[in-house]
Amino acid sequence: MVKPVKKKMAGWGKYPIESCLVYRPESTQDLKKILSSQKEKQIAYGLGRSYGDTALNEDEGISLFNKFDHMLSFDEESGILTCEAGVSLEEIINIFLPRGYFLPVTPGTKYVTVGGAIANDVHGKNHHLDGCFSEYVLEFDLLLASGETISCSRVENTDAFWATIGGIGLTGFITRAAIQLIRVETSYIKATYEKAENLDVAFEKFVENDANFKYSVAWIDCLSTGNSLGRSVLMRGEHALKEELPAKVKEPFKPSKGSVLKMPINAPSFALNPFSISAFNALYYASFKNETKIVDSSSFFHPLDAIDDWNKLYGKKGFIQYQAVFPKSNDPKSGIRKLLERLTEEKCSSFLAVLKSSGPANEGLLSFPMEGYTLALDIPIKDGSLFPFLRELDEIVLSYGGRVYLAKDATIDPETFKKMYPKWEEFKKVKKELDPDGLFSSSMSRRIGLT
């Protein structure tokens, strides 16, 4: 029998915290039983690395995917991996990087499941050249509300395919997927660090050189003001070739170390104040030189993973990550400048502000990226005054034709959502066909008026 346990659950930002009925199925058979009992609404929960409420279901059902962690097949020649949806990107890297294969797209943390990566259509530092995770998803199995499993790809059940890509778990349970890994010569990255004294310079260098680097991201000091508003460190890189490794590196595929540090407790709220954050930002900026060096891939792609539970840094009240994309066609620099100005005025920003460029949008009906630039910010929740401020940011983003990323969102309202994701109606149509009784639903989907 599969029974749920009532538990308080949260995403990575620890806001909101909701009481959910948590199931822990172990097989597709179990998932079918959960669906056929039709007791509650259901949503899948991967590793909970979305920040807000996409994987939450207040007073309704959540199915954990941690038992769906089996590798099903791997073709050494083509690099095509088939695995269950609960396999994490960390496991894929640990197993296949030593064999010369890497993930074609990896987000800023490797503690993400394959199912979660599809359902949010995650992007990495190479979006401008390589697109989203879905680009490398050849097919996946989707368990529908009816209990039937369908295989979805670019040629089979295409509507379901493009609704599920970025579809925040609302079309069904993804049970397995086939993904294409890429070949690499080493597990190292040749990384180039370059400082930019303000936003104009950062943009100039970004735009100029984007196409020359596979991976590209800029960290912004979002508390600098005036002439140095938007001063940044551009961090860009390529997979290092064997011949580029320094002589002292004996193994081209050194296995990565696990997490080393652990946040023991929630940081007290006074630990984060404009002073400590601006001191951190200044120090961080100063710690970089303009240089090119060989670094190991985990520190390049997943630096935050080195500290377990770093989200506790923001204290008990949690935090919001606000990530917005500004389309290239609509003066994105001025949009980003406006956002940064409002943040510095409000003195509510953070350690982490990241600028990335993104390539063209794909066909995913609710997929986030579109050609342009994205800015991501961590904003600690001190009190309720943050929420009206976030609505103000939404207005700025909307006025530039941009949108916020659902994987990070916890607060936008239905009107804003519908303006930001104009294909929502098309999505709803496909969802209706796949899930006529609306069995799949989440706290987020109800909040934004999708279910």
Ligand X SMILES: Cc1cc2nc3c(=O)[nH]c(=O)nc-3n(C[C@H](O)[C@H](O)[C@H](O)COP(=O)(O)OP(=O)(O)OC[C@H]3O[C@@H](n4cnc5c(N)ncnc54)[C@H](O)[C@@H]3O)c2cc1C
**Which x/- pattern, by CB under 6 A, does the window 47-76 give for ligand X?**
xxxx---xx---------x-----------
350 binds, among other proteins, ligand X, none (CB under 5 to 8 A by kind): none
Q: Which of 372, 361, 433 is nearest to 121 (CA)?
A: 361
Shortest reach from residue 120's CB to ligand X, in Å? 3
Least CB distance to other proteins at residue 24 (A): 5
Residue 375 makes contact with ligand X by CB under 6 A: no
In sequence order, what are the residues at sequence separation of 6 or more whose Cβ sits closer than 8 angstroms to the Cβ of residue 372? Answer: 325, 326, 327, 328, 329, 330, 332, 357, 358, 402
Residue with tokens 């003001």: 225
Please select the residue that binds ligand X; options are 104, 116, 315, 372, rule is CB under 6 A.
Answer: 116
Say if residue 16 is preceded by a cis peptide, omega within 30 of 0. Answer: yes
Q: How far is the CB of 204 from ligand X (least distance, A)?
A: 24
Size of residue set near ligand X by CB under 6 A: 32
Give the sign of the dihedral formed by CA 288, CA 291, CA 293, CA 296: positive
Kind and range of the H or E run holding 395: helix 386-399
Strands 61-64 and 17-23, bridge-based pairing: parallel
Nearer residue to ligand X within complex by CB, 115 or 344: 115
Kindly tell me which of 83 and 202 has the beta carbon lying closer to ligand X.
83
Shortest CA distance to 366 belongs to which of 122, 120, 46, 155? 120
Angle between helical axes of 332-346 and 386-399 (0-180°, round to 10): 170
Backbone angles phi, psi at 96, to 5 degrees: -100, -20
| Contacting ligand X within 416-435 (CB under 6 A) | none
Under the binding rule (CB under 8 A), the answer on residue 4 touching other proteins is: yes
Nearest residue (CB) to other proteins, 95 versus 267: 95
List the one residue from 15, 45, 74, 368 that touches other proteins (CB under 8 A).
74
Angstrom distances, CA of residue 131 to CA of 301, 373, 412? 16, 13, 25
Which of these segments, 68-76, 179-187, 269-277, 315-323, binds other proteins (CB under 8 A)? 68-76
Interface pick for ligand X out of 83, 97, 103, 112 (rule CB under 6 A): 112
Among 4, 52, 61, 107, binds ligand X (CB under 6 A): 107
Q: Which stretches of the chain bind ligand X, using CB under 6 A? A: 12, 43-50, 54-55, 65, 85, 107-109, 112-113, 115-117, 119-120, 122-124, 168-169, 173-174, 304, 407
